[in-house]
Amino acid sequence: MKEPPCWRTSLHGGHSGEFCDHAQGTLREMLEAAVAAGYRTFGVSEHAPRPEAFLYEEERALGWNAEKLTADFHRYTHAINALAEAFAPQLMVLRGFEAEVVPQQTYVETMSALRTRQLENGSPAFDYMVGSVHYVHEIQIDGAPETYRAAIEACGGVTSFAKSYYAQVAEMVEALRPEVVGHLDLIRKNARAAGLSPEALETPEIMAAAEMALEAVRAYGAILDLNTAGWRKGLDAPYPAPWLVQRAHAMGIPFCFGDDSHRPKEVGMGLEEARLYLLRNGVTHITTLERLEDGHLLRRRCPL
């Protein structure tokens, strides 16, 4: 059987209903879908647990609490390690998680502790971390449009909101130094529902703030997630938008693919289109991660 090309990878996704309230399917089913989609490497990046004050309304409605999120993440840590070994003949499964940035005072210590977590045998529990920002001033921005509007109001307007978001991305990258930076311009997700035009988030002042975030990504050697979920959310482009892709590429920042899958049918969705999207915007290679036999992680540059 011919080996898939090395660009057929995702480093952001694989969320399953076992460990995430807004996902569906089992983790095994997600990995089976990755094999069926022809992936060569599939990075699973389950959400890190959040404190009680930051539970989603859906989680509260299910009777969940912070202790459950922590226990589920502990189960995920062991499940992903067992499944990575089980799927090794068919698929390189990378063991990751997606960081959270709340509460702002303590998230660095908490996420850093997760990144260095070890299994009972002393080996690393995780291969890599996806650093994402889902909150501005501790208000969730990628959930209901109402909370997105509340974040804008708390910042005193759209420009201040967008600048605060990109500043938090830069701070997160500097503090956590994640291998992958997730969905860089997530603030686009709810913009239309909030009555904003795409141009409202691309003013010179906001673009300058975004470029400062890119400077942090470049300075700490992170890989940008070309995240296909933007299309699934009804946007005309994935994350990040074309101008950000072009600017990042000009700065020498590498990209990886992320399908941000939350159910088996989303695994691999948009991957072919994402390849063409990068090519149209001047990007000819992606960078992926591979785990060596000694457990070390290798960055590999793959032609599109």
- Looking at the predicted structure, is the pLDDT value of residue 37 above 80? yes
In which band, very low, low, confident or very high, does the pLDDT at 259 lie, cut at 50, 70 and 90?
A: very high
The rounded percent of the chain whose pLDDT value lies above 70 is 100
DSSP character string of 56-100: -HHHHHTT--HHHHHHHHHHHHHHHHHHHHHTTTT-EEEEEEE--
pLDDT at 3: 85
Cis peptide before 178 (omega within 30 of 0): no
**Domain-embedded: residue 2:** no
pLDDT at 295: 87
Question: In this structure, what CATH number is given to the domain that contains residue 88?
Answer: 3.20.20.140
What the block records as the tokens of 179 is 């291998």
**Domain-embedded: residue 3:** no
Contact 141, 192 (CB under 8 A): no
pLDDT, average across residues 45-57:
96
**Domain-embedded: residue 76:** yes
Burial class (CB in 10 A: 0-12, 13-18, 19+), 150: middle
The DSSP bridge pattern shows strands 92-98 and 128-131 to be parallel
DSSP character string of the chain: -PPPPTT-EESS----TTT-TT--S-HHHHHHHHHHTT-SEEEEEEEPP--GGG--HHHHHTT--HHHHHHHHHHHHHHHHHHHHHTTTT-EEEEEEE----STTTHHHHHHHHHT-B-TTSSBS-SEEEE---EETTEESSS-HHHHHHHHHHHTSHHHHHHHHHHHHHHHHHHH--SEE--TTGGGTTTTTTT--GGGG-SHHHHHHHHHHHHHHHHTT-EEEEETHHHHTT-SS-BSPHHHHHHHHHTT--EEEE---SSGGGTTTTHHHHHHHHHHTT--EEEEEEE-TTS-EEEEEEE-
Round the average pLDDT of the chain to a whole number and report it: 97
Domain that holds residue 136: 9-303
Q: What are phi and psi of 138, to 5 degrees?
A: 65, 25
**Domain-embedded: residue 86:** yes
- Looking at the predicted structure, is the pLDDT value of residue 204 above 90? yes
pLDDT at 233: 95
pLDDT at 198: 85
pLDDT at 257: 98
pLDDT, average across residues 271-288:
98
pLDDT at 219: 98
- Looking at the predicted structure, is the pLDDT value of residue 1 above 70? no
- Looking at the predicted structure, is the pLDDT value of residue 33 above 80? yes
C-alpha dihedral (222, 223, 224, 229), degrees to nearest 10: -120
pLDDT, average across residues 175-198:
96
pLDDT, average across residues 158-168:
98
Number of domains observed in the structure of the chain: 1
**Domain-embedded: residue 1:** no
Q: What are phi and psi of 163, to 5 degrees?
A: -65, -40
Better-predicted residue by pLDDT, 295 or 157: 157
- Looking at the predicted structure, is the pLDDT value of residue 66 above 80? yes
- Looking at the predicted structure, is the pLDDT value of residue 126 above 90? yes
